[in-house]
Amino acid sequence: MQDLIPLYTAEGELHDWISEQRMARLDKVGLIRIVKHKKGRISRCILLRRPDDPQPIKLSAYLGTRYSYLERLESGRKVWALRKLGEDAAPPAIFLQIVIEASNNA
């Protein structure tokens, strides 16, 4: 792997290890950005986002809604508290979809 160069996606994930010839071809057509060290040695290549590429998934889609948070009391202490759900608050649509799919498969 000494002669191979890491190729990363636009989101920063390692995609592949490529040769210098492949790197030159990708650079020639404008699909990558080459990152070099101060002394000029190639560090890595990053794929550029194309107009038809999908948008990256937001971190909040993985984490979901935060229902707990740190609350500061009058005494100065911090305690974990739960967010109150309103009486009219409906569960998220994705939650209902998962429940429906699970009940149909059972």
pLDDT digits (tens, 9 = 90+) for 66-82: 778 888 999 999 998 88
Output the pLDDT for position 78: 92
CA distance 90 to 73: 29
- Give the chain's domain count: 1
Residue 19 is assigned to a structural domain of this protein: yes
Residue 23 is assigned to a structural domain of this protein: yes
Q: Is 45 exposed, middle or buried (0-12, 13-18, 19+ CB in 10 A)?
A: buried
Q: How many helices (H) and strands (E) does the chain have?
A: 3, 6
Chain-wide mean pLDDT for the chain? 84
Output the pLDDT for position 62: 67
For residues 21-36, give the mean pLDDT. Answer: 95
Residue 26 is assigned to a structural domain of this protein: yes
Band (pLDDT 50/70/90 cuts) for residue 18 is: very high
Residue 54 is assigned to a structural domain of this protein: no
Answer whether 44's CB lies under 8 Å from 31's CB.
Answer: no
Residue 105 is assigned to a structural domain of this protein: no
Output the pLDDT for position 67: 76
Residue 34 is assigned to a structural domain of this protein: yes
Residue 58 is assigned to a structural domain of this protein: no
Residue 70 is assigned to a structural domain of this protein: no
- The boundaries of the domain holding residue 41 are 5-47
CA distance 41 to 10: 21
